[in-house]
Amino acid sequence: MAVKSSRAVFEVLREISKADVPLGAAEIARLLSLPITTAARALNTLEAAGYVARYHSSAKFVLGKSGQRLAYAFMANFPIRDLALPYLQQLTLLSGNSSSLFTRLGWYSVRIALIAGTSSIINVGAVGEARPLTIGAPSLAMLAQLSEEDATRALQRNPVTAQQQLREVCARIRKRGYACEVSSMESGGYDLAFPLCDPTRSILGCIALEGLASGADKSQIEQARQVISPLQDILAHGASTLAPHYEHIDPDEIDLG
């Protein structure tokens, strides 16, 4: 019973951490197929430990301070984050759009830094947001840089026809040096993403400019390229010391779905 209860607590924390909106016991119970009493007890446990907090004193919950500290500790495992932050700030200042740093973790892309812009129609995804490596401009910008072996492994969960389409998309990304796709967060907007690689051409992550109103025109692309280019050069010609601490884990063993 204790093992099952502990598992429920961690599953509830996981749902709270990845949700875009505050969640209550009834919603969590539905998402996890749990009795509502179990969901409520798990929330009470997490609230007492500071891992979740009530949203505006309501019956719904968001990530608490203890949970946020866990997230920040996780982000600290990616040395590229501190190096990239000034470039994110410059991108957002010049464009007014939100900019983010994503890194690859297994067959997923994870947002590890965000500078919110003033032009966003709605809130962009939270830091820690994960998505498959085949969905969205940030993911595809990194997928396009993988070796043939790794790309094949990343694509194998998709239907054969989708795999071929994704390979064609990746070929175009490699040719032009960036990805531009319909935004997953901003309705009617587009995301622009530039890959970041180390001296061995291993992918370290990507910088994304999110929620462009009507696609990326040449001036926006060139402006973003000029801001990011010095960082790309530093990484491409510097010492390969910025790899995350998760490279030893088989990507198939990482499940962020």
In a domain, 159, yes or no: yes
What is the domain-level CATH number for residue 91? 3.30.450.40
Q: 98 lies in which domain range?
A: 76-253
Pair (130, 230) in one structural domain: yes
pLDDT for the residue 243: 62
Pair (151, 184) in one structural domain: yes
pTM assigned to the model: 0.74
Give the chain's domain count: 2
Of 24-38, 81-95, 164-178, 192-206, minimum mean pLDDT range: 192-206
Pair (15, 126) in one structural domain: no
Pair (192, 86) in one structural domain: yes
3-state secondary structure 25-41: HHHHHHHHCCCHHHHHH
Please answer whether residues 181 and 191 qualify as being in contact, where contact means their C-beta atoms are separated by less than 8 angstroms. yes
In a domain, 70, yes or no: no
11 Cβ contact partners less than 8 Å away, ≥ 6 residues apart: 32, 34, 42
Pair (15, 119) in one structural domain: no
Pair (30, 88) in one structural domain: no
- Distance, CA of 41 to CA of 155 (rounded, Å): 39
pLDDT for the residue 237: 81
pLDDT tens-digit map of 61-101: 988 887 667 766 666 677 888 889 999 999 999 988 899 99
Pair (163, 138) in one structural domain: yes
Buried b (16+ CB within 10 A) or exposed e, 153-178: bbbeeeeeeebeebeebbeebeeeeb
Structure tokens at 181: 């796709």
Site of tokens 């190096």: 83
